[in-house]
Structures are given as C-alpha cells and as structure tokens.
Structure 1
Amino acid sequence: MRYFIKQAPRCGTLKSLAVGGTLLCCALAASAMDLLQAYTAAQINDATILAARATAVGERERLPQARAQLLPSLSASLSRNSNHLESTSPNFLGVEQTTNNSYPSNNRTLTLRQPLFRKQLAAQYRLAGAQVEDAEAVLSGEEQNLAVRVSTAYFEAMLTHDQLALVLAQQKAYTEQLDAARKTYAAGSGTRTDVDEAQARLDMNKALEIETRQNVDYTLQQLQTLVNQPIDKLATLNLARLELREPQPDNLQHWIALAEQNNPQLQSLKARVEVARQETEKARSGHYPTLDAIAQYTDSDSENVTNIKQRYVNKVLGMQLNVPLFAGGYVNSQVRQTLAGLDRAEQILEAGRRDLGLRVTKEFRGMTENIPKIKALEQALLSADQMVLSSQKSFQAGSRTLLDISDAEQQRMVVQRDLAQSRYMYLISKIGLLALVSGADEAAIVALNRALEP
C-alpha cells in the first residue's frame, strides 16, 4: 500500500499569492468606471428599472387571463351527506306518530360551459391587449430613461470633478500670489492692500472648495445609487475623441415627427386611449344578452326524502340565454363614466404630444446651440490664457499689479468652467434627444463612451 503525501506550499508561494491578490484588489479599486460600465451596472441593479420590468411581467398576464374567459370551463363537484329525518304524522287512528329515518346521500356533478356570445368578454380581451401594450411602452420608456439618468448622473459627476480641479488649481495660484505679495510688501515695493486682497481671495477659494467637494460627493452618490456599488474613480473626457456633430438630419421637424412615431411615453398614452375606448365597449356590453353552451353530467343517490335509496344519472346538453331587461340605469351610468374617461385620455394624449414637441426642441437646440458655444468658449480660453500671460509679464515690468493677475486668472477659471459645462450639456442633450425617439440604447451609450478614457 502506498501513501501519497501532498506537500504544503512554501512560505514564499503563499506570500506571492497574497501579494498578487492584494494587487488585483487594488487594481480593481483604482480602476475608473466608464459610462458603459455604469450603464451596464444600472441595468442590473437600478431599482426603478427592476420595478418596471416586474410590472411589465405582471401586466403581461392580463392577456392570458382575458383569453381564458373565452375558452371552455370545466368544473366538478362532489358531495356526500348524512341525513337524519324526523317526521310526525297521524296514523290511521288519528294518533300522531313520530318516526326517525337516517340515510346517506351522494351527488357527483361535472359541468362544461362554453361562452358563445359574450360581448363583455370580447371587450375585456381587447382591453387586456391594450393594457399589455401600455405596460410594454412604459417599460421601453423606463429603459430609455435609464440611459438618460445614468448619462446625466455620470456627466454631472465628471463636471463637479472638473470644477474641483479648477478650484484647486486656482487655490494654488492664489497661494503663490499671496506669497509674492508678502515678499514684495516685506521688500518695501508692495502694499498691504495687495496682501489683504490676495488673502481674501484665497479664503473665498477655500470656502468654494468645501462647497465643490460637497457637490462632488453628492453627484457621485447619485451615480452610486443607480449602479448600487461604490465608485472610486470616473473616466475623463478625451477632447481628441469628442466629436461635435449636429443632429442628423439637421431638421427639427423631422425629429419631432420621429418622436411622435417612436416615443415610448406617447405610445403608452395611445395605449391608454385604447384602454379607455375598450372600457366604454365593455360598459355598453351590459345591454347585450349572453349565450353559453352547457354540458352537464350528474350522478346522485338519495337526493331527497322521497327518493331514498334511489340513484339518478342525468345528462344535460343545451344552451343558456340570459337577456338583461332593466338594471336601474346602472349600465347607462357606466357608459357615461367611461366616455368621460375616454375624453380625459384623449386630452392627456394631446397634452403629451405637445409636451413632447417642446422636449424635442429643447434637446435639439441643446445640441445645435452648444456646438458654436463650445467653439466660442475654446477661443475665449485661448484669449484668457494670453491675458494671464500678458498680466504676468506686465507685473514683472511693473505696469500691472497682483490684483490684475488675479482678475485674469479668475476670468480664465470662469471660461474653463463654462466650457466644461457646455461640453457635458452637449453630451446630455445628445442622449436626451435619442431617448425621445427611442434611440437611447446600448449602441448610443457605446458611442458616448468613446469620448471618455480611463
């Protein structure tokens, strides 16, 4: 008999595995989550989209439930009773006499019913179909909205990170200016006003840093709520990959018509109009008769006191017609109520169509108007950089003060902030416009993600 002894790994091997696992965890923690990864995680973890999917699953069951009402129904009943009968009656002498009798009774019934004409059930089936269409449209709208919510949260988080970087860069410049002001003042060539001004601007910048960090935490928390996982880093905007293109085609009316044809929210409102219409048909069906085909088999024993110990087998095949004659005005009231609901649904649909046109116009202009604005701000940034450089050279020559340099750097920061905001607003408007025409899918997210880099 042989024994095989498995040797334990050496200490060095264990250390290598531990170090490798630590490095892997650190790499995952340090890696930046891009937009596509955030969108994929939100599809799995976002509570709103998960609730919409569950709602759609439940609403889809309305159709088989309504269909089942049109199909044959088969029912069976079985009963077994123990009967105790006490009867008192006069005998032939006129004297009342009481007798007790106990006997069992049984009944077995099998019933098959097939609706032949039920206008209410037909309307209910069409109503269920419209309700399922509404649920599918709502789900599609939530999927489009998810792409917008994730993109908006992601780009807002990126914007606050960029703003924090600008504030910290400005803080560094203010610190250097304060040191320079103190040195020039100590040398006798500066003034106390320059020192106080530089100190005041640095203090205001530190207060702005606190506010900006709060915005960073808040926007990051918004994104973490969607993806339901911690986020350490975000990707950055690669300006070389950022393509500023106008909507294709560059025609507002084309996009409005496309949205009216494909927008999920508008499709949902149209389905609700159909739901209201079928509710009216369902209410009107209360005036119509119903016709069913019935087949029944009954097997009974001792079914009453006069038939003790007798068995009956009854087979029935026939038609059952029910004709409503008068319901006190209930059906007419239902019809009037559903007609009011139909009018309400049609007006909501019209309001939704008008609002959709406004939203398409807003997102369309958000793209087309931000493109020239971005280009103008890029040129303004070049001018602001040149202004800072000129102010620094003029200060060295003695014709400018530190306050002039601070003003130039403040103006450059404003331009940088507005430029970053315009770029992100362009991207948000782009995905928003696609969502309105039901085009905010994974391919659209992949296209936006190309402008980012780890």
Structure 2
Amino acid sequence: MHALSTSSAPSSRPRFVPRLSSLALTAAVLLTGLPAWSLDLRQAYESAQAHDATARAAAAAADAARERLPQARAQLLPNIAFSAGRNRNDLSREQSGVPVPEAPYYSFNQTLQLRQPIYRRPLMLALEQADHLVADADATLERERQNLGVRVTGAYLEALLAQDQLDLVLRQHAFTLAYLDAARKALAAGSGTRTEIDEAQARLDLNLAQQLEARQQLDYTRRQLESMTGQPAGELVPVDPQRLTLVAPQPAALEDWLLLAESGSPELLALKSRLEAARLEVGKAQGAHHPTLDALLQVTRSASENVTTPESSYLNRTVGLQLNLPLYAGGYASSVVRQAAAESLRAEETLEATRRDLGLRMQREFRGVTEGVLKVRALEQAVRSAEQLVKSSRRSFEAGSRSLLDVLNAEQQQQTALRDLAQARYLYLLSHVRLQALAGTDQAAAISQVNGWLVRH
C-alpha cells in the first residue's frame, strides 16, 4: 500500500497531474484513423430486408404456402382428361379343333372425360383450410420481418457499444500513460512513491489486454451487421444523447400492450390460423365417411375393340352422375380422425403456451423501457458525479491531500459510469423496438423513431 501525504499546503507537491487538454489531444491522436460515421439504422434495416438470407427464406416460404389456395380451389373445379391408345392384336382362333388362320390387326381408343365434383366434403373443407394456411404464412412472414428489425437493431447497437467501449479503453490508456509519466516525475522529485508507479504500470498493462478484447468485439459486431446488410458496416451513426427522448411507452399500461398483441402480434396470429386449420383437418378426416357425388361427361371413340368384329368402330357418349359410398376401410378413417383431433388439441395448447410466454416477454420489454428511463437518468447523474469526483481528486492531489492512485481510481470510476450509461441507453432503445415488435405494430416506424435519435458527425 502506498503512503499518503499529510501535507495540505498547495506547494507541497509538484503538479504532475496531466491537464484535460493534453489528455484530449492524446485521445484524439489515438482515435485518428477511425472511420467517419455514415450508415444509420434505417439504412441498415432497408439493406437487410433485401439481403438477409433468413428474411428471403421466409418470403420464399410464404410464396410457397400461398399456392395452397389455388391448389385447393382447383380440386373443386371441373377436371378434363384425354387418353388415347393404339394396340397391335394377334388373334388365335380354333374352330372344331382346327386352327383358323387370322391376320393380326390394330385397334385404338380415344377418351375425353369431364368430371365435376358436386359433393366432396373434404375438398370443401380443404378450400377453407387453405385460407387459414395462407393467413398463417403471411403472419409468419410478418413475424420474421419484425424479428429482422429487432436483429438489425440489436446488431447495430452492439456495434455502437463496442465502439464506445474501445473509445473508453483508449481514453483510459491515455490517462494511465500520462499518470505513469507523472508518477515517475514525482518519484524523481522526491514526492512520489514506487507503489504509484507500479500501480499505474499494472493498470496500463491490463489496459492493453482490454484494448485487444475491445477491438475483437468491435470487429465481430461489425461483421455480424455486415452479414445482415450485405455492405460494409465500418461507419455507423451514433446515438445523440441530446436528441434521445426518454419517455415511457405509449400506451402506458402493460394490459393495453397485451391487448394490442392479442390482435396484432404476428406470432399469435400465425398460431390462431394454425389452430383453425387443425380444426378443419378434423372435419376433413370425418368427411372420409361421407359419400361423394360427381357429374361425369365422357366421349369415347374406338375401333377394332371387339374381337368378334375386329373391323368395327364405335363412338360412345356418356352423361351421368357417379356416387361413391365408403363402407369399410379397416379402421383407417377412424384412426385419421383421432390423429387430427390430437393435432388440433396440440395446436390449441401451443397457442395458449405462446400467449402466456408472449405476456412474459412483453412484460420484460415493457419494464425495459419504463425502468430504462429511470436507469439512464440515474446513470447520467452518476456520470456527472464521477466527473466532479475527478475534478475534486485532481485538486486534492495538487493540494497534497490525495495520492496519484486516488486520481486514477476516480478516473476509472468515471469510465465505468460512462460505459454503464452507454449500455443503459442502448438497452432502452432495443427494448423499445422489441416491445413494438412483440405487439405487432409498424416495425419500420419504430426503427425510424430510433433513427431520429441518431446524429451524423
């Protein structure tokens, strides 16, 4: 432990504390070469919409699911088919035990058939089911779009936080380096201690390791954002504390947000559509016991189809109704009904479980916004207090009532407060976007609102 000076005279210690102007200059030199800000959050989101592979896969899945509707409708429309065949026939005939030579001949047939379903309950329910499946696909796509906004916002804010952490580490390096020089000069003048030098050197060595970690984190977060946007993420527009509006969510009650989610959450809408589709699947399975009725129109043209009159030709026109009544299928239809009923129950329970989980997630993000306002304000005051502590520690050191290590500790406390404040601001912004996404509100509007709190240098 280093010794503390007991002298209170202002001239008792050399003034080796580095001035803020020199520290700012050192930090500016260290930060030279960092990219200028240019890419904002809205631009990143728009780029991700066109480039992100997960979003494109969700769009393709929705396009594929939408084809269920015309497919189901086609099953209820007339079906027209044409078939034709031509055959070579070798006929052997005996008469009174004596073979009668016959020449080979050719036969052919052509059939044009039109079948119009009149009553097929499974097909009717399948058309209604297709509507719900398309609604499920649209809601799932919207959910992925909401998730994309949250993922891009999270990656963007993580990159900003990584940049802030690197800036703080570099700033701390500049302070520590200056204090190490001051400690060496104080020891040479006979007013310092070796412990102060060792402490400053130890912190400087630790700072180098922190710089490496901060640079790695910054590189990772930028690459993460690049993978979503498909463009370099080296230049990001930072949050402007002067523009950032710390307000409680609107509506102000969690219950109102839950009501919004019940009617607007794409996650719940998708599961509700799946539940309706599962219930209709039960009806389709039960429809296997129902008779089917089709209208049939058929025209058949053939020649040499009759072995007794191989040189004849026929033209047959048929119009009628075809009834099919299932009687017994070995228990298959009943098993399918039970299976569909179990799937319907599973879809219902999944919806309820998701509704409860969504309520918990919305409560977490709601509190992240409401309590985030209080936390940011508290940390802003903590930063102001830390800045005042640094100033007081400097004056006390110059007066001889504080040591160089006390000033270093005050500086480190200030850096910690600045880091915590940055984290709290980014968490507040991310909770704001997440809450909007969970409720199913306009994601682009939420991102534009956050983007309005950024500023270009």
Normalising by the residue count of structure 2, what TM-score does the alignment of the two structures yield?
0.91
User: Following TM superposition, by how much is the alpha carbon of 1:73 offset from its aligned partner in structure 2, in angstroms?
Assistant: 0.5
- Residue 349 of structure 2 is aligned to residue 347 of structure 1: yes
- Residue 80 of structure 2 is aligned to residue 79 of structure 1: no
Do the aligned partners of 2:62 and 2:137 also contact (CA within 8 Å) in 1? Answer: yes
Give the structure 2 partner of residue 122 of structure 1.
124
**RMSD across aligned C-alpha pairs, in angstroms?**
1.2
- Residue 428 of structure 2 is aligned to residue 426 of structure 1: yes
User: Following TM superposition, by how much is the alpha carbon of 1:101 offset from its aligned partner in structure 2, in angstroms?
Assistant: 2.0
Q: 2:58 aligns with which of 52, 64, 67?
A: 52
Greater relative contact order: 1 or 2 (C-alpha under 8 angstroms, separation 6 or more)? 2
Give the structure 1 partner of residue 3 of structure 2.
none
Matched residue SS, 1:229: coil
User: Following TM superposition, by how much is the alpha carbon of 1:31 offset from its aligned partner in structure 2, in angstroms?
Assistant: 5.5
Matched residue SS, 1:77: strand
Do the aligned partners of 1:255 and 1:437 also contact (CA within 8 Å) in 2? Answer: yes
Amino acid aligned to 1:177: Y
Q: Deviations over 1:296-317 (max 9, x none)?
A: 0111111121121111111100
Q: Deviations over 1:328-349 (max 9, x none)?
A: 1111111111111111110000
Do the aligned partners of 1:181 and 1:402 also contact (CA within 8 Å) in 2? Answer: yes
Q: How does 1:317-396 map to 2 (within 5 A)?
A: 317-396=319-398
CA distance in 2, matches of 1:174, 1:100: 114
Give the structure 1 partner of residue 285 of structure 2.
283
Do the aligned partners of 2:368 and 2:427 also contact (CA within 8 Å) in 1? Answer: yes
Q: Deviations over 1:411-430 (max 9, x none)?
A: 11111111111111110011
User: Following TM superposition, by how much is the alpha carbon of 1:278 offset from its aligned partner in structure 2, in angstroms?
Assistant: 1.3
Give the structure 2 partner of residue 236 of structure 1.
238
CA distance in 1, matches of 2:250, 2:173: 43
CA distance in 2, matches of 1:240, 1:389: 24
- Residue 39 of structure 2 is aligned to residue 33 of structure 1: yes
- Residue 73 of structure 2 is aligned to residue 67 of structure 1: yes
Q: Deviations over 1:107-154 (max 9, x none)?
A: 111100000000111121122221111111100101111111111110
- Residue 302 of structure 2 is aligned to residue 296 of structure 1: no
Give the structure 1 partner of residue 176 of structure 2.
174
Do the aligned partners of 1:147 and 1:440 also contact (CA within 8 Å) in 2? Answer: no
Amino acid aligned to 2:340: T
The farther-off stretch of 415-424 and 223-232 is 223-232
Matched residue SS, 1:432: helix
Unaligned 5+ segments in structure 2 are: 1-34
Matched residue SS, 2:91: strand
Give the structure 2 partner of residue 20 of structure 1.
none
Do the aligned partners of 2:306 and 2:312 also contact (CA within 8 Å) in 1? Answer: no
Give the structure 1 partner of residue 9 of structure 2.
none
Q: Deviations over 1:182-217 (max 9, x none)?
A: 111112211111100000011111111111111111
CA distance in 2, matches of 1:231, 1:372: 31
**Identity value in percent:** 52
User: Following TM superposition, by how much is the alpha carbon of 1:443 offset from its aligned partner in structure 2, in angstroms?
Assistant: 2.1
User: Following TM superposition, by how much is the alpha carbon of 1:239 offset from its aligned partner in structure 2, in angstroms?
Assistant: 1.4
Normalising by the residue count of structure 1, what TM-score does the alignment of the two structures yield?
0.91
Give the structure 1 partner of residue 48 of structure 2.
42
The farther-off stretch of 110-119 and 75-84 is 75-84
Q: 1:207 aligns with which of 209, 229, 232?
A: 209
Matched residue SS, 1:354: helix
Amino acid aligned to 1:151: T
CA distance in 1, matches of 2:123, 2:310: 43
Give the structure 2 partner of residue 18 of structure 1.
none
Amino acid aligned to 1:447: Q
User: Following TM superposition, by how much is the alpha carbon of 1:88 offset from its aligned partner in structure 2, in angstroms?
Assistant: 3.0
Amino acid aligned to 1:333: S
Do the aligned partners of 1:431 and 1:440 also contact (CA within 8 Å) in 2? Answer: no
Which portions of structure 1, spanning 4 or more consecutive aligned residues, are displaced by more than 3 angstroms?
Answer: none
Give the structure 1 partner of residue 8 of structure 2.
none
Do the aligned partners of 1:62 and 1:128 also contact (CA within 8 Å) in 2? Answer: yes
Do the aligned partners of 2:78 and 2:117 also contact (CA within 8 Å) in 1? Answer: yes
Do the aligned partners of 2:37 and 2:238 also contact (CA within 8 Å) in 1? Answer: no
Amino acid aligned to 1:351: A
Amino acid aligned to 2:177: T
Do the aligned partners of 2:37 and 2:237 also contact (CA within 8 Å) in 1? Answer: no
Do the aligned partners of 1:394 and 1:400 also contact (CA within 8 Å) in 2? Answer: yes
The farther-off stretch of 100-109 and 338-347 is 100-109
Do the aligned partners of 2:393 and 2:410 also contact (CA within 8 Å) in 1? Answer: yes
Do the aligned partners of 1:175 and 1:202 also contact (CA within 8 Å) in 2? Answer: yes
The farther-off stretch of 436-445 and 240-249 is 436-445
Amino acid aligned to 2:43: Q
Amino acid aligned to 2:406: D
User: Following TM superposition, by how much is the alpha carbon of 1:258 offset from its aligned partner in structure 2, in angstroms?
Assistant: 0.7
CA distance in 2, matches of 1:51, 1:31: 31
Q: Deviations over 1:247-275 (max 9, x none)?
A: 11211100011111110001111111112
